[in-house]
Structure 1
């Protein structure tokens, strides 16, 4: 078995895996499951400091992103797509898919969104139904201040859709003025892949329920959950075993009083080791506490680094893709990956791989990490 140190999916704790081995009720018939589901959704509301309702959808995190766009977008709607990363730009496709008119606000992929500059842009043009923004754009490791961004957009009457799949549970976040908050099971929450969780504001519900045209999807239609609890009925069969695993992972998170401080401490130590060794962080500002991304040294192949780490040390890290393919390596330190032992082993393996490939480091990665963390 490999040690999975990628920016998702992450390693899954034993009690989460074991929660899937027990026989469970029929979610279509047994009302006790509807209560369990509702309680689990309420836990999400509590964690993100909101009264807004959450839904758990049967599908990987990207389902939540599409469902948000499908549920809000009508033909011709202008949608502001805040693009400072590959995933940020990716919202453009969903908006187009459902007939909207995406307007890209494209800025530097190495830096977090500057809220003051965004305000200057909005002063000139703010005729948008909603805006999309990514909390942690995982391909680059950029962390955006989505709370401040959503507060700003709300001043102009613009709803906000936030992709926090790769940041939530590792970086602090309150839902606040975010209208649709999209989460995933397989990142810092460290549950199995296959679920997306979506928080929906009353403002977003009102827009969905009072559309001029029907939502052009069934599975990616958030309004189908409108009366699930009152009717004790779901629009499709819920993946009951996955949801029990999710609940156990949520229990783990609530019991972990050190969760955000630990993520920040380990992420900071990883970045310090990377910089002190002479490697270059891809990100210049807005560092996420869930993933570290650094440039592949000149003359070395990202695939060679990954293969040595996998074949010799049984550790999986990740490349990137799209416009960043082959340019960077990504280390996930989120959820169950976010512990000193596994991160130390990963940095040692990385150091050995780079040395084998002819890269001279200024200091040992693992040792530097441990000096910083202790």
Structure 2
């Protein structure tokens, strides 16, 4: 059992009712007709919460499985795929496309600002011959949030399907799949959903299903193949044994989300107060625009290291924050306020501990990090 309060941008704290649901006695998931009903009902609840009529599938694997499965299922050799890149995860989609024989075309923009939709439109006027585009809703390493409700309909207007990563965005920021006209949306259990790592889920449009079914070449994977779930409920046959305890936990987490009518507003309120407090304390937010309501990222001040901050927060205050990786390794600190961690009580502890830590390490400010956060709520 961890001795730390987990305030990272995923995995996050897991509510007790989710943990208890995972401990329920289980049946044979392959052979019990009742579990097929339970799986389907959980999938339908996810679709409802994401405001879509599209089918949802739950896959056994961490969130990255959904991203790879989407690209594996959609990509044929030679397909041109537009990679919207303004963050580490955005750029990472190119690897999946290349792995399955596609040709990634990078649309790379400033990593400190959200995509400008008008600029993207101008680009697409010149070149829109793409089978699909990849879009990251929340690029967690930097905390970048892109407006999928404008970007994805724009792409659709040019006949471009979309694979959208909202693993770290959904249920902390608004996601309306049908409004955004998203073809494949990918989510994960361990972010704002507030269940342990181990599951990913995808919503799939009819257009995406047709594209997968009408391929000229077979999908070059079994596990990363979304078509293998076709008619699973009609035939009462899963392509592989479902992790039943994980799915019981996911259902409890989704029930929590359905019952939490203040969820999106609370994330926005806490995120806004956190950003205001960080700036008032004299620290520099890493981004210039596109702030997610699930994670706040600030630059490590001169004269101290990310490890200095993270270690004291853990050992002195019992709170786990996160650094980042890739080109941001050692340069930023990330505060996760998503899902079960997006509550005022825990965030007051974070602000208090972070203020003490930074002052201990030499930071001087006339303002109080904790005080400003409390005032701005």
Identify the TM-score tier after normalising by the shorter chain: over 0.9
The reply to whether residue 303 of structure 1 matches residue 289 of structure 2 is: no
Match of 2:239 in 1: 235
Match of 1:286 in 2: 290
The reply to whether residue 195 of structure 1 matches residue 167 of structure 2 is: no
Q: Quick one: which of 338, 341, 348 aligns to 2:342?
A: 338
Q: CA deviation at 1:364?
A: 1.3
Residues 276 and 362 of structure 1 are in contact (CA less than 8 Å); yes or no, is this contact kept in structure 2?
no
The reply to whether residue 354 of structure 1 matches residue 366 of structure 2 is: no
Match of 1:178 in 2: 182
**CA separation in 2, counterparts of 1:165 and 1:28?**
27
**CA separation in 2, counterparts of 1:269 and 1:358?**
24
Match of 2:146 in 1: 144
Q: Quick one: which of 77, 87, 94 aligns to 1:92?
A: 94
Q: Quick one: which of 148, 162, 165 aligns to 1:163?
A: 165
Where does 1:99-118 land on structure 2 (aligned, <5 Å)? 99-118=101-120
Structure 1 residue ranges (4+ consecutive) displaced by more than 4 angstroms after TM superposition: none
| More displaced 10-residue stretch of structure 1: 18-27 or 127-136 | 18-27
Q: CA deviation at 1:362?
A: 3.3
What count of residue pairs does the alignment treat as equivalent?
373
Gaps of 5+ in 1: none
**CA separation in 2, counterparts of 1:97 and 1:353?**
44
Q: Quick one: which of 39, 42, 59 aligns to 1:40?
A: 42
**CA separation in 1, counterparts of 2:359 and 2:155?**
48
Q: State TM-score, norm by structure 2.
A: 0.98
Aligned partner of residue 302 in structure 2, secondary structure? coil
Cα RMSD between the aligned structures?
Answer: 0.6
Q: CA deviation at 1:290?
A: 0.3
Q: CA deviation at 1:21?
A: 1.4
Where does 1:204-219 land on structure 2 (aligned, <5 Å)? 204-219=208-223
**CA separation in 1, counterparts of 2:83 and 2:23?**
42
The reply to whether residue 372 of structure 1 matches residue 376 of structure 2 is: yes
Aligned partner of residue 197 in structure 1, secondary structure? strand
Q: CA deviation at 1:361?
A: 2.4
Q: CA deviation at 1:44?
A: 1.1
The reply to whether residue 124 of structure 1 matches residue 126 of structure 2 is: yes
**CA separation in 2, counterparts of 1:317 and 1:362?**
24
Q: State TM-score, norm by structure 1.
A: 0.99
1:193-219 C-alpha deviation (Å, 9 max, x unpaired) = 100010000000000011000000000
Residues 133 and 163 of structure 1 are in contact (CA less than 8 Å); yes or no, is this contact kept in structure 2?
yes
1:104-161 C-alpha deviation (Å, 9 max, x unpaired) = 0000111111110000000001010000010000011111011211100111110000
